[in-house]
Structure 1
Amino acid sequence: MLKKLLVHAALALTGLALAFPAAAHYIWIEQDKSHHARLYFGEYQEQEREMSPGRLDEIKGPRAWVLDASGKRNEIKVVRKETHFDLGVISDRSSPILAEELAYEVKDWTKHGIGIVKPMFYTRLSPLLERSAAKPELVLDILPENGSPKAFTVYFRNTPLAKAKVMVYAPNFWMQEHPTDENGKVNITTPWPGQYVLEVIYVEKQPGEFQGNKFEAFRHRATLTFDIPAGPYENKASIGR
């Protein structure tokens, strides 16, 4: 209960609206110790994972790929399960895993100040290796810089995205917010070992139509998942930084 209250307090302090949870969902990838990868829909920081039947079914047709050592995409099978999309066993943990959902229906979130938008979801699970930051692969992408757990670059359509708001969700679900600089770069603190999820949103004001429904803009949303192993770790920054 206390953890949940702290999460909500942090959201309020960062100016995120809690009044429209439907607009707060995103996709992200996790990989367990047996190398099994899964795609989730919900909110990692809220420990919320949607199910099927239910809101998981709003994700219509996600596609996923593994990047090999040369940077080539290899598409992998995506299987819908009750609590997630199964991506199978990815034996090479040094290979980034990518996924996107482009078939999400148009949403009218005008009453929440967002407008009529076409949500677009992207996600990357990336090992903290120097080669993992070769180049952006998704329309909206977050890449670690030279394997660092502190430095990242956000790209939109292969161009660094300046002044973007990056949310950082820690293994204990503590949150922080950082803006990218004029070169799309952002520095964060990662005080604890475990899984981190970074999230960024970019609204592209380009009207269009999808499945007979018109919209005013694309609402792109991307996440990056990475793990910091347990043990001695150089970043002992306090949460107040």
Structure 2
Amino acid sequence: MPPQRIMALPLKQLTTSAFLLLLPLLTNAHGYWMELSGSGKPSSEVIVKIYFGEYENNLREKGDRLNGMKDFRAYYLDSSGQQQPLTLTQTETCWEARFTPAKAGRYQVVGINDTREVQDWIKYGMGVVRPMEYLRADYLAGNALDAIAPLTDIDVVARPLNGQMVLTAYAKKTPTAKTKLTVLNSQGWEKTLTTGADGTTRFTPSGPGIYIVEAEQMDKTPGQYKDKDYAAVRSKYAMTLRVE
């Protein structure tokens, strides 16, 4: 079955008609997300955990239910913007990695699974697709004011503004209009948003804590992967957002 369940910059609307079709999200369903923990100080270890379950329902799968995550790879961008690989290890409750920030700054952590076999999901209304998964979370070591930029093919950048969080959705690092985003927290709070012409939308958090921002994208450009033809690439995305 398919897996269930992302600065002011010049913005322009994506207009290439055959390029991307953004899909509605599947809510209240299983998905992947990332959580980071640490002291927030330079030279102090950060623990990266990737979970599978239902974040909004506090459901985290365990044991063999995590075996399908073995193809995830992860890395972080250090304070100088250099990509550093992370080694993921399976535990009873998640896949885990660790790193230590060398100095103060913003550290962006990314998880990707782009090696899954082509899937026949005709019965789910998606056709024959190549599935992709993208996860992202940012970690601040010390007082960091570094700007955030999109990193992956599908991404969302967040910034606070007057008590709200402004979200900008990107495809191929280009802001995208009419993109559906779902925002969740662990208390069952959920909100579905749609980006405007400049690729942005905003929400008012229900309170401090961790929120997951989900996006889904279908690129209907056909291709071939591992000797199998596909009609589209289906990308799922989950960004972990900490609200103070």
Letter of the 2:180 counterpart = K
Match of 2:87 among 72, 77, 92: 77
Q: Is the 8 A contact 1:132 1:144 kept in 2?
A: no
Structure-2 residue corresponding to 1:43 = 54
Give the whole-Å Cα distance in 1 for the aligned partners of 2:218 and 2:61: 24
When structure 1 is superposed on structure 2, of 150-159 and 57-66 the one drifting more is 57-66
Q: Is the 8 A contact 2:57 2:186 kept in 1?
A: no
Deviation per CA, 1:190-230: give whole Å up to 9, x if none: 1211110000001000222333433211111111102123x
The normalised TM-score by structure 2 is 0.75
Structure-2 residue corresponding to 1:236 = none
Give the whole-Å Cα distance in 2 for the aligned partners of 1:187 and 1:36: 29
SS at match of 1:227: strand
**Identical-residue share of aligned pairs (%):** 29
Residue 137 (structure 2) pairs with residue 125 (structure 1): yes
Q: Is the 8 A contact 1:78 1:86 kept in 2?
A: yes
Q: Is the 8 A contact 1:170 1:190 kept in 2?
A: no
Deviation per CA, 1:126-155: give whole Å up to 9, x if none: 24864241x211111111136886112111
Structure-2 residue corresponding to 1:63 = 73
Structure-2 residue corresponding to 1:26 = 31
The normalised TM-score by structure 1 is 0.76
Q: Is the 8 A contact 2:119 2:128 kept in 1?
A: yes
Alpha-carbon shift at residue 168 of structure 1 (Å)? 0.2
Give the whole-Å Cα distance in 2 for the aligned partners of 1:41 and 1:27: 5
Q: Is the 8 A contact 1:166 1:198 kept in 2?
A: yes
Residue 145 (structure 2) pairs with residue 145 (structure 1): no
Alpha-carbon shift at residue 187 of structure 1 (Å)? 0.7
Q: Is the 8 A contact 2:185 2:210 kept in 1?
A: yes
Match of 1:88 among 85, 88, 98: 98
Bigger strand fraction: 2
SS at match of 1:150: strand
SS at match of 2:56: helix
Structure-2 residue corresponding to 1:111 = 123
Structure-1 residue corresponding to 2:12 = none
When structure 1 is superposed on structure 2, of 200-209 and 85-94 the one drifting more is 85-94
Give the whole-Å Cα distance in 2 for the aligned partners of 1:45 and 1:26: 10
Letter of the 1:208 counterpart = G
Deviation per CA, 1:166-209: give whole Å up to 9, x if none: 00002312100000112211211212111100000010002223
Give the whole-Å Cα distance in 2 for the aligned partners of 1:194 and 1:166: 18
Structure-2 residue corresponding to 1:234 = none
Structure-2 residue corresponding to 1:207 = 222
Relative contact order (C-alpha < 8 Å, sep 6+): which is higher?
A: 2
**Structure 1 runs not aligned, ≥5 long:** 1-14, 230-241
Letter of the 2:155 counterpart = D
**Structure 2 runs not aligned, ≥5 long:** 1-23, 40-45
Residues 191 and 17 of structure 1: is their aligned pair in 2 closer, same or farther, counting only changes over 3 Å? closer
Letter of the 1:46 counterpart = N
SS at match of 1:138: coil
Runs (4+) off by over 4 Å? 15-18, 89-93, 127-130, 146-149
